[in-house]
Structure formats: structure tokens, C-alpha cells
Structure 1
Amino acid sequence: MTQGVKIVTIGGGSSYTPELMEGFIKRYDELPIREMWLVDIEEGKDKLETVGTMAQRMWDASPYDVKVHLTLDRREALKDADFVTTQFRIGLLDARIKDERIPLSYGMVGQETNGAGGILKAFRTIPVILSIVEDMKELCPNAWLINFTNPSGMVTDAIIRYGKWERVIGLCNVPVNAMMAEPELIDKTLDELIYSFAGLNHFHWHKVQDLKGNDVTSEIIDKLYDGESGIPTNIHDIPFYKEQLKRMNMIPCGYHRYYYRSEEMLEHMLEEYNDPNKGTRAQQVKQTESELFELYKDPNLDHKPEQLSKRGGAHYSDAACETIASIYANKNTHIVVSTKNNGAIPDLAPDDVVEVSAYIGSAGARPIAFGSFHPAERGWLQVMKNMELCVEEAAVTGDYGLALQAFTINPLIPSGDTARKVLDELLVAHKKHLPQFAEKIAELEANGVTVKDEISRDLN
């Protein structure tokens, strides 16, 4: 690599960007940044300028002389980059509102990365990430792609499987949250424990040992029922059944609530959906984000505001910045990432992207062997991975039949005519961002398919 590091962040106008800047500033001694580029699209120009100006103030308040470049030209930014991070949302938060509200209008889970909404987010995102990869092949062929764009596991899998780009690592802050919250439950610090994660993004489990090799997972499980659960702020905290956790002797991630407690999670989501003063999680986030950007406009603000923790992405920089620093300095740090399985989980194919504990160094991620799961978890895992593979192929090909297949085998989508109606309505609602389905969407509209949820319809 050349002297100093060039980092490009696509989706640079995100409210998360100050968290990212904080992480880079904290690690400057081991990751000397030469250039920092923030990239966004025309619709995000105002936010890019607001957050970019604040990012520059953060660097100016630090001891380091780093210039933050802002651009709407992705190719200008990518030339000779060392690391590219992605944190974008196709269709912005209005698209997420549709992903949540349209399924809920039919009485099924509406969520950003799970169920019908998660599938549509993948349909919109995967073609765009693949176009970014094509630009990288031309403009920065030796760069590492650090993906934080959701659904992170499917997006990362598609980058490798369809983009043929191996220098990629997918990230999520959920494992970091668990490792930050749990040790103190048993009067330990993180460096006194050994964490082992395995599964898929937003669908993983973990177990914990002390430094003598004694399993302390059960002890943590007991304490989880006494207080803080450590789940992200964007997930309603309905407790798992303790007997299940004790039997599996693993701790599921927070998103498993949508699968282990579907009925109760759906009930809570429908309450918020029907409450005009609350609305779905995306509507609440839109309000939080609006408040954040007002704060970012303050010319005296030169540090990450505390309110950002409400956004749901706490500790994002601990994952993204530490991964980049670990690759750059060959640190071989333990980080939980989405990467090629390569045998870490024997229940899945070697080339399947999984979310596992790995050592991160200059060669990328070296996954740590976890071993086979018991039948219950193995069954969940294999269904979910094959559902993901159907979603990815449909996103690339625009195959409507395959999209129906993905809907049919997703555990959060009751199969039958309602599932088809939800798929059809979501396709029409997102038609601007689904060119691969254009022919089918035109057919659906000709047959009278429209968006029935009033708020989602107003966003079109």
C-alpha cells in the first residue's frame, strides 16, 4: 500500500458516519489515513454536506491533519482506494417504511432484514453492490470491501458468489453489542472470556468460555433473566424461553426473537403499526435521524452526540474500524464477520457465507471452526441459508418464480395467496429500485395491483 491509507465510504451521508469517524480518529496511530472520501447520491446531497462538514470538524478537533472529501461521483472517489466501506440504503428510510408497513398491513412481520421486508431490501441492494464491485475491479482492484449494508450476510454472499470479489468482509454490530454487555453480568471483562459465534447474519448463536476453558454460557444465560439483555435498541425485548436456551447451551442473537417468539413480536409490531403516535420502527428512526441531523448542523459540534446510540447502530465503528485496522496492520484480531464458511460450520457448504468468529489480518478473515449444530439449530440454519440463496439469485436475475420460492420457505411468511399478494405489492411499491423485475411489475400493475397501505402509498 502507498504511504497512508485512502478510505472511501459509500453512503457517506448516513447518520452513522460520525461513529465511523470517531473510530478512525481513535485508531489513527495504527491506521494512518491519507484521504477520507464520503460518497452519496443526489437525493442524499444535503445530508452528505451536513455530515461531511461535521466529520471534518471532528478531524480538525483531533491532532491529525486529514481532509474529508465529499462527492456524488463514486468513480472519482474509488480510484486507488485501499478500503471501501458501504453503509447505504437503496430508497432511503422511506423504502424501509414500505418494507415494514406493507407486510404488517397483511398481518405478517414487517422488519428491515427479516421476513418479506428483508427480502425486498436484498432485491434492491444486491444489484447496486454488484455495480460497485465492477467499478472497484477497474479503479481499485487491490482494495478491501468492508460491507455494513444490510442485509449484510446476503449482500456479502452475493459479492463473492455473483461479483466474484473475494476481498470482502461483512460486518454487523450485533455481536459487538453482546460482547460489550455480557461479561459484566458475571463480573468479568471481555479479555477474560473467549467468545465463539456461528450462524448467519442476524441469525447466529454464541457460546462463552473463561480463560481456563470452562464453559460459562449457562451462567450468562441465568444472568440475562436478571436484567440487561444486551440486545440492540431496534428490537423489542421479549425474553426467550429460558428452558430452550439452557437446553441448547447457546445464546441466540437478538433477532432470533422474530423466530422463537414470532407471535409476540408480531403482536408488538402490529400495536405500533396501528398507533398513529408511534408507527413502525422505520418511522421512529426517521424522527430520530431528523433530530440527529439538526444536531450535526451545529458548527460547534465536533464529536459524536450521545443521541446516536438511539439509532440502533451502537458500536458500529468498533466493528468496521477495527476490521480495517486489523487488515492493515495484520493484527489477527478476533472479530465476528460474514465471510466464506470454509468448514467452520460443517452443516453448510464451504462456499456459503456465514457469520462466525474469525481472526482478521492482512489475508482477510480466517474463520474459527465452530462445529456442527444440534438438530434444532441445524434445521433453522439450513432453511435460512437456502432461503438466502434463493433471494440472492432472484435479486440478480429478476426471476419472479424464485422470489415466490424465497417467500414460501421464509419462516416469517405464511405460505399461500397472502404471501403472493405481499410480494406483488412490495414489488410495485419499490418499482423505481427494481429494474430487474420491471417486466413483471408492469404486468402486475396492468392487472390492478396497487399499494394499499395508505402511508406506503403516499411515499410512492
Structure 2
Amino acid sequence: MKLAVVGGGSTYTPELIDGFARLRDTLPITELVLVDPAADRLDLVGGLARRIFAKQEHDGAITTTTDLDAAVEGADAVLLQLRVGGQAARNQDETWPLECGCVGQETTGAGGLAKALRTVPVVLDIAERVRRANPDAWIIDFTNPVGIVTRALLNAGHKAVGLCNVAIGFQRKFAKLLGVAPSEVHLDHVGLNHLTWETGVRLGGPAGEDVLPRLLAEHGDALAGDLHLPRLVMDRFGVVPSYYLRYYYAHDEVVAELRTKPSRAAEVAAMEKELLEMYGDPALDEKPELLARRGGAFYSEAAVDLAASLLGGGGSPYQVVNTYNNGTLPFLPDDAVIETQAAVGPGGAVPLPVAPVDPLYAGLIANVTAYEDLALDAALRGGRERVFKALLAHPLVGQYAYAEQLTDRLIAHNREHLAWA
């Protein structure tokens, strides 16, 4: 089994490698190719990756290359974890929206749109090259904004599934609080990527006992603290929102906070410098503790589980993924990409039935889906007017004057990545 990781020079990659090594019985990789245009980073990450495999006695071969076509040739699955423009572009996404009084974040709002515009054309080019190399290969997209990128891939006819670590993070957290194995926890997870709610937590499977009321009663304070939201939000509605909902539910508070501290991109850039120095140490043969602060908790477990199921191995029968709606949420078009529990196998991901969604959440889901329609159109066809319409449609912008200012700033900061600008 051959896997290729596009963006293999990422400091995230040792987390992925550790999962591949530990879970080799679930996903028996024989060849792993890390591909990245940054040869210097790739050498450091690749060296550590080989040492991790060696320490854990994994006999799979790890190679590195800057040649995408060579990397994906014959690959059974290709995992995308790229960041067009690097941390420098991310830093811009997190700062210039604040100048207009809007949230500065790399996956949602104006910053998220900028990332989508930079990313979608690059990902589609990669996907076409994967299809030429092996039309049966699965593409697993971990690249943000996952919902928009996955929709672009699916609309272009690619065998693709989107993946995010938010759901598996909740699953692991709930399992620990309940004192059960993670495999016993099934989430009623509904929404869009980075716009989701846990409306049920079931033991044993989709039809199991819902223990979410008990979790909220016994651990509500801890859960609220992790989400940086008042416990009242969860208690009033009986759900656990993704921490990304804080950008919507406490917008002005978040903007005020972000204006008083360095951007997350600046923090990550400093962390990455330190991590890469560590990766260059020939004595290091495991992922360092610092990597946990970089983000992406349980990313490797989710990726292994999904790849194993898609390739016919021993992955979990139900997983939270990003895929076509196909009637699951009746208030959305069939070709909207939702994030939900799905039955996953070699034929792809089929969403499980979802209980009627409270209008409080359905309205926001529909609104953001409309934004994603416009965002994808802007990413594919370009043009200032399309960018403006997408920004105006986003509930974190939503005002004509803000959308005008943000459009000008977005284009100015991203001109080198926009072929039409």
C-alpha cells in the first residue's frame, strides 16, 4: 500500500508518522512518500519520520521528493495538508480583518475566504495530477477550509473525502470523562466544517444511549472552559458547540481579545522554528512534546481510520467526515458539503440519517452554506465582485461597508496568489 502526503514538510507530519507507525495493523503502509516544495524542511521532517518508523519497527519505506508527479504515481491514497503562502499568509489572514472590526481567523470569516481563494486552484491542480497518475486513488483533504476545498474536489469528480480533527477531539474528550474506550463513543455531530454541534453522545453506536445530558450535568464547567464559552450556552440548548462557534456567539468579545495579543500565526511560526531545530537532531526518534501545542490533536488517528476504511482495511465503520449532503439535511442542497457521521468504506462516505435540526442551528448552517457557494465561485472564477458578494454573505461580515473594505484588503494582501488580480 502506497500513500503520499502533499505538504509532507509540515511540522504536523511527525504526528501523522507516529500514527502510521503505531497503527500499522490497521493501515499496513509499505511505501510512504512525503512531497513538499520546501526541500530544506522536507529533509528535516523526512529524517525524523524514518527514525520514528525505525524505533517503532515499522518496515515501510519513507521517501521524500519535491516532484509531485513522482510522489503520487501509483499511490492508493493521497493526503493533502498544504498551506499556500505559509505562515506569512496565515498571519495576514488573522490581522487585516481586525482593521475592519471583524474576526481575523484563518478558516472562517474574511481570512478563511482569503485562504480558500489561494488554496482551491492549487488543490484542484494537484487532484488532476493524482487522477492522471491513478484514477482509483482516494484523496483525503485535511487542508483548510476543508468544507470548501472538499466541495471543489467533489464537484470536479474526484474521489475525495474531507477530514477535520474537531470531532475526534470531542470523542476522545468525552470517552475520558465517561471512562470508556473511544470506540464506544458515537457522536451525533451535525453542521459544516468548523460550524458544528454535538447534539448527542451515544454509547455503543448510532442507536446507543444518549449520555450527553449526563456529560453536561457532570462536566459542563470543564467543557465550557475548554470552549471559552459560558456554560449557559450549552445548558440552555443541551448541545456542545464546536469552539469555532465562539467566533459567532461572542464575535465582538473575540475581536477585542485578538487585537490585544500576537496572532496565532506568529505563535505557530515561532513554534515551527523550534520544532524544525528539534527535527534536525539525529538523536530524536519520536514526536516531541512541543508538537502537541502546535495543534492537530488526534489528527493521525483520524487519518489512519479514514484511509483504512476507504482502502478496504480495518477502519471504524462510522466516522465524522466532510462529504456531499445528498438529502441528509433537507434544508441544504444535495451538493452542499456537510460534516457529519457517515458509514465509510471502499465506496466512499454515506452520511447517516440526522434528526431534525433546531432552527437555531439550521439557520446559521444555511447561511454559511450560501457563503460557501459564493466563496467557491470566487475561488474558481475570480473577480472583485465575486469576492465582495462572498464577504457580504458571511455572517461574520454581513455589512456593505465592511465587505467593501475587506475586499480591498483581501486582494491587496493576496495578489501574488490570485491569477486574476
Same topology, TM > 0.5: yes
Superposed displacement of residue 59, structure 1: 1.5
Correspondence for 2:220 among 225, 229, 242: 225
Q: Does 1:91 align with 2:85?
A: yes
The whole-number CA distance in structure 2 between the counterparts of 1:370 and 1:139 is 37
Task: State the 1:25 CA deviation.
Answer: 1.0
User: For this pair of structures, how many residues does the alignment match?
Assistant: 417
- 1:160 equivalent to 2:144? Answer no
CA contact (8 A) 2:35 2:68 kept: yes
SS of equivalent residue, structure 1 residue 411 = coil
Give a deviation string over 1:211-249, Cα, whole Å, max 9, x none: 584332222223443325585xxxxx421452x433432
For 1:142, the aligned partner's letter is D
Q: Quick check: 1:98–1:426 contact (8 Å CA) kept in 2?
A: no
Q: Residue type of the partner of 2:157?
A: K
Q: Given the superposition, is the C-alpha separation of residues 192 and 35 from structure 1 closer, same or farther in structure 2, using an over 3 Å criterion? A: closer
Q: 1:129 aligns with which of 123, 129, 134?
A: 123
Structure 1 residue runs of 5 or longer lacking an equivalent are: 232-236, 273-278, 439-460
Q: Give the superposition deviation at 1:65.
A: 2.2
CA deviations 1:247-277 (Å, max 9, x no partner) are: 43221111011111112111111111xxxxx
Specify the code of the residue in structure 2 equivalent to 1:218.
Answer: P
1:15 corresponds to 2:35: no
Q: 1:98 to 1:218 in 2, by over 3 A?
A: same
Aligned to 1:80: 74
Distance 1:241-1:267 versus aligned 2 partners, 3 A rule: farther
Query: 2:219 matched to 1:250?
Result: no
Equivalent residues of 1:181, 1:229 under 8 A apart: no
Matched, 1:209 2:202: yes
Q: CA deviation at 1:168?
A: 0.8
Counterpart among 19, 37, 40 of residue 33 in structure 2: 37
The letter of the residue matching 2:42 is L
Call closer, same or farther: CA 1:34–1:187 in 2, change over 3 Å. Answer: closer
Q: Distance in 2 between matches of 1:344 and 1:185?
A: 30
Question: 1:51/1:230 Cα in 2 relative to 1: closer, same or farther (>3 Å)?
Answer: farther
How big is the shift at 1:354?
A: 0.6
1:337 is aligned with what amino acid?
V
- Aligned residue among 268, 271, 292 for 1:288: 271
Identity %: 37
2:160 corresponds to which letter in structure 1? V
SS in 2 for 1:33: coil
Counterparts of 1:336 and 1:87, CA distance in 2: 18
Partner of 1:194: 186
Equivalent position amino acid for 1:73 in 2: D
- Which of 347, 353, 367 aligns to 1:363? It is 347
- Structure 1 distance, partners of 2:265, 2:175, is 31
The whole-number CA distance in structure 1 between the counterparts of 2:53 and 2:175 is 32
Please give the root-mean-square deviation of Cα atoms over the aligned residues, in Å.
1.7
Q: Does 1:24 align with 2:20?
A: yes
SS of 1:429 mapped into structure 2? helix
8 Å contact 1:238–1:261 — kept in the other structure? no
How far is 1:401 from its partner?
A: 1.5
- Report the alpha carbon displacement of residue 189 of structure 1 after superposing the two structures with TM: 4.0
Aligned pair partner of 2:43 in 41, 49, 53: 49
Q: Which amino acid aligns with 2:34?
A: L
Alignment partners' CA distance in 1, 2:68 and 2:184: 43
Gap change, CA 1:21 and 1:418, over 3 Å in 2: same
In the TM superposition, residue 414 of structure 1 has moved relative to its aligned partner by 4.4
- What is the alpha-carbon distance in structure 1 between the residues aligned to residue 249 and residue 282 of structure 2? 46
Cα separation, 1, equivalents of 2:128 and 2:361: 36
Aligned partners of 1:419, 1:39: CA distance in 2, in Å?
37
Q: Following the alignment from structure 1 to structure 2, what is the Cα–Cα distance between the partners of residues 339 and 37?
A: 26
1:454 is aligned to none
State the shift of 1:144 in Å: 0.3
Q: How does 1:171-186 map to 2 (within 5 A)?
A: 171-186=163-178
Distance change (3 Å), C-alpha of 1:265 and 1:223: farther
Q: Residue 239 of structure 1: which of 229, 232, 240 is its match?
A: 229
Structure 2 residue ranges without an equivalent (≥5):
none
- Write out aligned runs for 1:341-356 (5 A): 341-356=325-340
3-state SS of paired residue (1:360): strand
Q: Which residue of 2 aligns with 1:394?
A: 378
Distance 1:147 1:426, change over 3 A: same
Contact 1:240 1:257 in 2 (8 A): no
Over 3 Å counting, the alpha-carbon distance change for 1:409 and 1:241 in structure 2 is farther
- 1:49-103 per-residue CA deviation (whole Å, 9 max, x = no partner) reads 1101111111122322222111111011111110100000000000000001111
Query: What TM-score do the two structures reach when normalised by structure 1?
Result: 0.87
CA distance in 1, matches of 2:239, 2:82: 32
Q: CA deviation at 1:318?
A: 1.1
